[in-house]
Structure 1
Amino acid sequence: MGHVLNDLCASMWFTYALVFYTAVIGISHSMAGVLMIVGQVADAISTPIIGTLSDRGSTKLTKAKVGKRKSWYIVGTVLVVCAKPFMFSPCFPCKNSMDGIKVLYYSAFIIVFQIGWAAVQTIHLAMVADLTSNEKERTFLLSLRNTMTAFCNSATYIGQLILIIIFAKPSERVSESDIISFQVLIGMIVTVGLATSVIFLIMVPEDPTRFRSHSLESSSHSMESGSHASSVHQSPVKILARFMLHYIGLIYLNVRLFVVAVQALLTLYLHESLKAYAYELATVPLVLNITTFVVSLLTGVVNELFGRKTTFMFGTISGLAACVWTYFGEGELYAHGLIYVVATFYGSACALLQITALALIAEYIGEDINNGAFIYGYMSFLDKISTGVTLALILNFHNVGCDRYFTCSVVWCCGCSSVLATILLCALKTPVEPIFIHTEQSKDRSKGSFSDTRLVKDSIKIQPSHKS
């Protein structure tokens, strides 16, 4: 519920932004790539900063009344709601200007939106670690989160399909005349997303005394036993010094490359390689996300039965099957029929890979909830930079005369990223040992002071290559 606004907006951003800016606004592919990387970099920079500030709390007033997480959640929601409508509206001051002016105009709203989106995403993920330390429960919560993402994506595509039927001829290709359908859809997204965010704020209260109470209980126990273990804030430098953080980040980076390539490039593949009709830009992603929705419900169970590596392998096999079919698929039957079957393979892969990768991150965080938001922020930083640069390069080298350009882009981007992520995961010894920051405190009653702390080195356990 708390991530519905983000999910709906992300669906529009990744699935329709490139088509909107190129086919509706008339910006070149290379300049559309600039808009994409501007947004991704803004998100990448703001995410770890917000995560760090959230872990350390905001002002005393907001912490007391709202909570250290939700104060940032509210700020992010306001920024998203204010900026999103302008991103999918015509540039009235620069309608007849050159592409560079249009890019500057849209970039301003994209940056504001991405900062807000990053705040909501980071806080929502961090609250999963805050709510429970049980790995099965965390995987279940992440599975529900991914299920809701798929549901929101599907709702976006259904809305787009209905609006295309109302405002345009479904058999036509997307053009400047479709701008009204984009604007109406954005209005619906912002309204529904804002309502669900308010419900989340009311229904899932953050108790700012929860961590303090836990600390007091631990302190009370330590006075009897002489020592205790608790999670403490660490500087970003110390957190970033851990090799395992970057290793898991590389796995997550490749998973996100796969998912974003499917979301962002599939519609361009449909529009430019398959010459799909306008309605197919809604129905094919809809089938993909219905599949993701269904598979997401089962991923937690599959993880529990077969383990993370096997579940991840299932996702990779599904993704590679989709890539092979995409590369060799041709003809009217494929373009308007079998492409829906291919979409189910992509959808299954997205669910299995992403939920497993997020569960791996949650497993690594363990009970270190005081640094969880920064860790998620760092993962998002890797995600945004890598996907932004990749999409910008693909769009920059777009060959107008090559109908198969986006076919190859989807295939190679998805195929290489899924294979690399699988190799990295297979080389990793699981379950991953979480970060444990143990604090020993002993009170010197004669001097009235405390002696503090030692950090237990987080393990780096990589299997030898002959065992992987």
Structure 2
Amino acid sequence: MSINDDAVDEFPQINPENPQLDLKTKLAYGAGDFGPAITGNISIFFLLVFFTNVAGIPAGLAGSILMIGKIWDAINDPIIGMLSDRTKSRRWGRRLPWMFYGAIPFGIIFFLQWIIPPFTANQSNNIWPLFWYYVVIGLLSQVIYTVVSLPYTAMTPELTQDYDERTNLNSFRFAFSISGSILSLVLAKIIFSIIGDRQQQYLVLAAVSAVIAVLALYICIFGVRDRILAFEAKRNQIAQPASLPFFQQLKIVFSNRPFLFVIGIYLFSWLGVQVTATTLPYFVVNCMGLTDADVPTVIIAVQGTALIMLFFWSALSKKIGKKVVYFLGMISWIIAAGGLFFLQPSQLVLMYVMAVMAGVGVSTAYLIPWSLIPDVIDLDEYNTGQRREGIFYGFMVLLQKLGLALGIFLVGNALQSAGFQATTAGQPLPIQPESALFAIRLSVGPLPTIFLILGLFLTYFYPITREMHAEIMMKLKARRENSGV
């Protein structure tokens, strides 16, 4: 894919071989995940609640809406990843054009997801038109999210090739990501307390979040541009092998054994995150007897702890390794999940203790899998002579969205099977049957625990160590020197 634009006179005088990134670049890169984190976090915690308690869609149908979008995502994520690998632009490089032109449509589509079109006056006849409206918006949303987020994530190995610096860079990324998540919850708490109408609450929240998301993406684009173009200039000096057909690239990607471990670790980690996040608002209101306004406070306890722990885990990983850090975080989270299952309405202090313990583990679910994937890409370059960040990150983004959709699908259908009662805006929340309450407890405790244990099993056998990565980078450097670059 070639982008026609005005050529710049020369590339920035930055040494892309220098593994150390300046603070400005790290902050700008982190800002790229700030906006999508705000919009994504609102979707994670409130979209199913919005569908069932505001739009009046039954829980099973609501849980199916995003799952339908993931069928399309299975196609568009790797394709956009491959296209971003092939993009050519002197002004923007391979990744930034996608973000530059996709940022504004990203904000618009997100806002449209929170509108309730009045197709008919009869609410019971409005369910299926609303279902298909949200399916269409969901399909568009997944494509445009991929357009901005996949090229963004694929920039990590292009910004630095150092094993530990990548972990540090990802700590900045997820510090901004979690900060965006916390800001979304603060905004939700403020807006929910000011505006009484539930439908208007979500419209205002969506509008404010969309504007912030678009601005943050442009801060990232212009902040990392010099470093990315310097990397591109260096990469273009090396003779690149002919690009392989799409399905042959897929075959090579999935023959990369460490990559299979990484996607398994990430899928199970993210399923644990999404199932917990989707269930938590129901748990706080229906099992703990609190109100909608209390939900953001509980979630902030989780996300705030995760934010604080990010840099601690990043520093500790340099001493004890990424795998050990992941184990420590997951164990804390598993203990918290077990505690939430047995928690009673009178144990509010203990609920916040469990939220903090879960946050300790959530931070490693963010940090470690994304720190492993650049090392896998280096191994692929060593084996094939090509850098295919886009297609590798395409599958990571696919798994991120699959985790979100599958989490909502599982929770939504579990609630409907258990007799959960949906409602519409303006109506009081119904009293849920004991079977629905038990399903909520299962979804916040034992179900994510199963996913986390499976992730731990794969992490134990993950093969790339710091020593192995150092050897790969040494051989790549020797190959480049032999090619005269």
Alignment partner, residue 83 of structure 1: 109
Alignment partner, residue 54 of structure 1: 84
Q: Secondary structure at the match of 2:263?
A: helix
Distance in 2, Cα, partners of 1:317 & 1:248: 19
Alignment partner, residue 460 of structure 1: none
Cα distance, 1:440 vs structure 2 = 8.2
**Unaligned 5+ residue runs, structure 1?**
169-176, 220-229, 442-449, 451-468
Change (3 A) 1:295 1:388: same
On the 8 A contact 1:41/1:384 being kept in 2, the answer is no
Change (3 A) 1:394 1:115: same
Alignment partner, residue 313 of structure 1: 327
Question: Are 2:204 and 1:184 equivalent residues in the alignment?
Answer: yes
Question: Are 2:174 and 1:146 equivalent residues in the alignment?
Answer: yes
Residues 167-316 of structure 1 correspond to what in structure 2 (within 5 A)?
Answer: 167-168=195-196, 177-205=197-225, 207-208=228-229, 210-216=231-237, 233-234=243-244, 235-316=249-330
Distance in 2, Cα, partners of 1:353 & 1:66: 31
Question: Are 2:58 and 1:13 equivalent residues in the alignment?
Answer: no
Cα distance, 1:386 vs structure 2 = 4.8
Q: Deviations over 1:387-435 (max 9, x none)?
A: 5234313322321231121110121221011111111111233417568
Cα distance, 1:308 vs structure 2 = 1.5
Residues 19-58 of structure 1 correspond to what in structure 2 (within 5 A)?
Answer: 19-57=49-87
Distance in 2, Cα, partners of 1:80 & 1:298: 33
Change (3 A) 1:338 1:321: same
Alignment partner, residue 136 of structure 1: 164
Q: Secondary structure at the match of 1:279?
A: helix
- One-letter amino acid of the structure 1 residue matched with residue 232 of structure 2: F
- One-letter amino acid of the structure 2 residue matched with residue 200 of structure 1: C
Distance in 1, Cα, partners of 2:80 & 2:374: 18
Alignment partner, residue 18 of structure 2: none
Distance in 1, Cα, partners of 2:34 & 2:116: 25
Question: Are 2:335 and 1:324 equivalent residues in the alignment?
Answer: no
Distance in 2, Cα, partners of 1:262 & 1:81: 26
Alignment partner, residue 401 of structure 2: 384
Q: Secondary structure at the match of 2:445?
A: helix
Identity of aligned residues (%): 20
**Which segment drifts farther, 103-112 or 88-97?**
88-97
Question: Are 2:391 and 1:374 equivalent residues in the alignment?
Answer: yes
Cα distance, 1:348 vs structure 2 = 1.1
Cα distance, 1:338 vs structure 2 = 2.3
Alignment partner, residue 360 of structure 2: 348
Change (3 A) 1:275 1:43: farther
Cα distance, 1:94 vs structure 2 = 4.7
Distance in 1, Cα, partners of 2:388 & 2:253: 8
Distance in 1, Cα, partners of 2:220 & 2:232: 21
Alignment partner, residue 338 of structure 1: 350
Distance in 2, Cα, partners of 1:394 & 1:351: 23
1:408 aligns with one of 442, 457, 461: 442
Distance in 1, Cα, partners of 2:100 & 2:131: 28
On the 8 A contact 1:273/1:405 being kept in 2, the answer is no
- One-letter amino acid of the structure 2 residue matched with residue 143 of structure 1: S
On the 8 A contact 1:5/1:189 being kept in 2, the answer is yes
Distance in 2, Cα, partners of 1:195 & 1:390: 29
Cα distance, 1:157 vs structure 2 = 0.7
On the 8 A contact 1:44/1:382 being kept in 2, the answer is no
- One-letter amino acid of the structure 2 residue matched with residue 304 of structure 1: K
- One-letter amino acid of the structure 2 residue matched with residue 51 of structure 1: G
Cα distance, 1:127 vs structure 2 = 0.8
Change (3 A) 1:386 1:15: closer
How many residues align? The count is 418
Distance in 1, Cα, partners of 2:349 & 2:396: 37
Cα distance, 1:231 vs structure 2 = 8.1
- One-letter amino acid of the structure 1 residue matched with residue 102 of structure 2: G
Distance in 2, Cα, partners of 1:183 & 1:320: 35
Distance in 1, Cα, partners of 2:241 & 2:320: 31
Cα distance, 1:152 vs structure 2 = 0.6
Question: Are 2:187 and 1:159 equivalent residues in the alignment?
Answer: yes
Change (3 A) 1:67 1:417: same
Cα distance, 1:375 vs structure 2 = 0.5
Alignment partner, residue 371 of structure 2: 359
On the 8 A contact 1:79/1:112 being kept in 2, the answer is no
Q: Deviations over 1:340-390 (max 9, x none)?
A: 211111111110232111111122222748201210111232343355234
**Which segment drifts farther, 33-42 or 145-154?**
33-42
On the 8 A contact 1:48/1:378 being kept in 2, the answer is yes
On the 8 A contact 2:100/2:218 being kept in 1, the answer is no
Question: Are 2:134 and 1:106 equivalent residues in the alignment?
Answer: yes
Change (3 A) 1:337 1:70: same
Distance in 2, Cα, partners of 1:142 & 1:231: 29
Distance in 2, Cα, partners of 1:271 & 1:240: 43
Q: Secondary structure at the match of 1:404?
A: helix
Cα distance, 1:133 vs structure 2 = 0.3
Cα distance, 1:192 vs structure 2 = 1.4
Q: Secondary structure at the match of 1:202?
A: helix
**Unaligned 5+ residue runs, structure 2?**
1-30, 420-432
Cα distance, 1:256 vs structure 2 = 0.9
TM-score if structure 2 supplies the norm length?
0.80
Alignment partner, residue 125 of structure 1: 153
- One-letter amino acid of the structure 2 residue matched with residue 320 of structure 1: I
Distance in 1, Cα, partners of 2:177 & 2:186: 14
Q: Secondary structure at the match of 2:388?
A: helix
2:413 aligns with one of 396, 400, 416: 396
Alignment partner, residue 73 of structure 1: 99
Q: Deviations over 1:258-280 (max 9, x none)?
A: 11122222122223333321111
On the 8 A contact 2:265/2:459 being kept in 1, the answer is yes
Q: C-alpha root-mean-square deviation of aligned residues, in Å? A: 2.6
Q: Deviations over 1:408-465 (max 9, x none)?
A: 0121221011111111111233417568897989xxxxxxxx9xxxxxxxxxxxxxxx
Distance in 2, Cα, partners of 1:440 & 1:360: 23
On the 8 A contact 1:80/1:113 being kept in 2, the answer is yes
- One-letter amino acid of the structure 1 residue matched with residue 97 of structure 2: S
1:427 aligns with one of 461, 466, 469: 461
